[in-house]
């Protein structure tokens, strides 16, 4: 039986849209009460598994996580580009169109990086045409603000998923969170999104079980002191993540040789190491490619065709314009492995310890902490 994202409970798609609904005084899947202003703090890479395993270093966060509804589903694929688009649009990847870390550009006959590879052939408003929560907030008369690092201010990805918000750049975790609280205290209705990438960066480099990642968790939990102690009677704060991660040991980072039969019929390799999306050569038989991959990797991965993945609800409802961006064949790791193409793998990518992209609980389950009016 194939895995599938949960649709019967609140998920990442409901967090920012739920905060906006609370500002509007509307019902929402989070059962968040009406508020004047709201903020969402997104901690990249902070999964519930890691958070609970390091509970002594995250006391402020864990104290704000309710016993019921404190863990939600990130959706699929568990990767930043797809997840942040889901957060800010309230839509699944099959609708918003950002279907992986890298994706197939059928018009350009190429693979494009969804975080950093935007160019003239990928206009953000065409690739991701749906309104964001920030545009909806502005239309409702609320101020929409993104608080993040300067390097994210002007990118194609920012234009695709954060449009409608004004951007405020601050360097440190503490400064970003302090500014978020200050914005909530200002008069008027306001929707604030605060992005914290530091834990994900430490996890990729050293693993979530490393001292480096733990230092970042300590830093984050300490920085949340203003959120935990400031009286926010008419405003609410939510903290969540885009995905979790697991540590993949060096011997399980599997490099598939350039001459391997697994690449027969494969034209493009997109996705990420724990969730390959294979675009096939014209005329190649998907069934043959699937059979080769299953013979080799079925113990370690789910190997499915695009139609099978769509039928299993992996990407949610898939728009016709989005379907060709999804690989003809998908290889989603089920064990603690990651797959690399020898022809394109770099020493930096092969050194990556913390990984995500597939369906492991460590990847899919994320926290939903609540403060202020949302904690009642």
Q: Are residues 167 and 51 in the same domain?
A: yes
Task: Decide if 189 is inside a domain.
Answer: yes
Task: Decide if 221 is inside a domain.
Answer: yes
**pLDDT surpasses 90 at 143:** yes
**pLDDT surpasses 80 at 376:** no
Which DSSP state fits 52? H
Helices (H), 35-165: 48-53, 59-63, 80-89, 93-96, 124-127, 133-139, 156-161
Task: Decide if 109 is inside a domain.
Answer: no
What is the structure's pLDDT at 45? 98
Which H or E run contains 24?
A: helix 15-24
Q: How far apart are CA 213 and CA 199, in angstroms?
A: 6
Q: Is the pTM of this model over 0.75?
A: yes
CB atoms within 10 A of CB 340: 18
Q: Are residues 334 and 217 in the same domain?
A: no
Across the strands, what pairs with 148? 169
**pLDDT surpasses 80 at 61:** yes
**In this structure, what token pair is assigned to residue 14?**
């409901």
Q: Are residues 162 and 90 in the same domain?
A: yes
Which DSSP state fits 257? P
Q: Are residues 122 and 31 in the same domain?
A: yes
Q: Mean pLDDT throughout 120-130?
A: 94
What is the structure's pLDDT at 207? 98
> How far, in Å, are 23, 118, 171, 190, 322 from residue 103 at the CA level?
35, 12, 30, 34, 10
Contact between 245 and 47 under an 8 Å Cβ cutoff? The reply is: yes
Q: Are residues 164 and 313 in the same domain?
A: no
Q: Are residues 133 and 164 in the same domain?
A: yes
Task: Decide if 67 is inside a domain.
Answer: yes
**pLDDT surpasses 90 at 152:** yes
Q: Are residues 323 and 204 in the same domain?
A: no
Task: Decide if 105 is inside a domain.
Answer: no
Task: Give the number of domains in the chain.
Answer: 2
Contact between 173 and 196 under an 8 Å Cβ cutoff? The reply is: yes
Give the confidence band of 29 by pLDDT, cuts at 50, 70, 90: very high
User: 325 lies in which domain range?
Assistant: 250-355
**pLDDT surpasses 90 at 322:** yes
The three-class DSSP label of residue 102 is: strand
CATH number at residue 272: 3.30.1360.180
Task: Decide if 180 is inside a domain.
Answer: yes
Q: Are residues 171 and 231 in the same domain?
A: yes
What is the structure's pLDDT at 69? 87
Least Cα distance to 297 among 265, 264, 338 occurs for 338
CB atoms within 10 A of CB 326: 25
pLDDT tens digit sequence for 126-140: 999 999 999 999 999
What is the structure's pLDDT at 360? 98
CATH number at residue 217: 3.40.720.10
Q: Strands, E, within 63-189: which ranges?
A: 71-73, 102-105, 110-113, 143-148, 166-169
């Amino acid at each position: 039986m194939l895995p599938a994202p949960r649709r019967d409970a609140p998920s990442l798609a409901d967090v920012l849209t739920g905060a906006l609904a609370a500002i509007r005084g509307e019902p929402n899947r989070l059962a968040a009460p009406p508020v004047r202003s709201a903020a969402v703090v997104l901690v990249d890479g902070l999964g519930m598994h890691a958070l609970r395993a390091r509970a002594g270093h995250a006391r402020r966060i864990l104290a704000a996580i309710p016993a019921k509804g404190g863990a939600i589903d990130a959706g699929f694929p568990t990767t930043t580009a797809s997840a942040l688009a889901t957060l800010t649009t309230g839509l699944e990847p099959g609708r918003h169109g950002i279907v992986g870390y890298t994706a197939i550009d059928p018009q350009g006959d190429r693979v494009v990086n969804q975080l950093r590879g935007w160019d003239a052939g990928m206009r953000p408003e065409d690739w991701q045409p749906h309104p964001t929560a920030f545009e909806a907030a502005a239309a409702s008369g609320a101020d929409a603000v993104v608080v993040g690092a300067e390097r994210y201010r002007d990118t194609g990805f920012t234009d695709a998923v954060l449009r409608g918000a004004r951007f405020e750049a601050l360097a440190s975790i503490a400064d970003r969170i302090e500014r978020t609280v200050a914005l909530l205290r200002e008069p008027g209705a306001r929707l604030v999104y605060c992005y914290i990438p530091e834990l994900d960066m430490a996890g990729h480099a050293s693993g979530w079980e490393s001292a480096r990642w733990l230092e970042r968790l300590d830093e984050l939990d300490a920085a949340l002191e203003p959120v935990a102690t400031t009286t926010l009677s008419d405003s609410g704060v939510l903290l969540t993540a885009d995905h979790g991660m697991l540590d993949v040991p060096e011997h399980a980072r599997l490099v598939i040789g350039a001459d391997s039969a697994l690449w027969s019929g494969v034209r493009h390799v997109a996705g990420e190491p724990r969730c390959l999306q294979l675009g096939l050569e014209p005329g190649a038989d998907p069934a043959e490619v699937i059979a080769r991959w299953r013979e080799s990797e079925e113990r370690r991965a789910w190997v499915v065709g695009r139609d099978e993945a769509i039928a299993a609800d992996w990407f949610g409802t898939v728009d016709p314009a989005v379907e060709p961006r999804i690989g003809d064949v998908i290889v989603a790791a089920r064990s603690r492995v990651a797959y690399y193409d020898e022809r394109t793998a770099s020493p930096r990518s092969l050194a990556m310890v913390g990984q995500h992209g597939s369906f492991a609980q460590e990847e899919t389950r994320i926290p939903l902490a609540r403060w202020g009016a949302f904690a009642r």
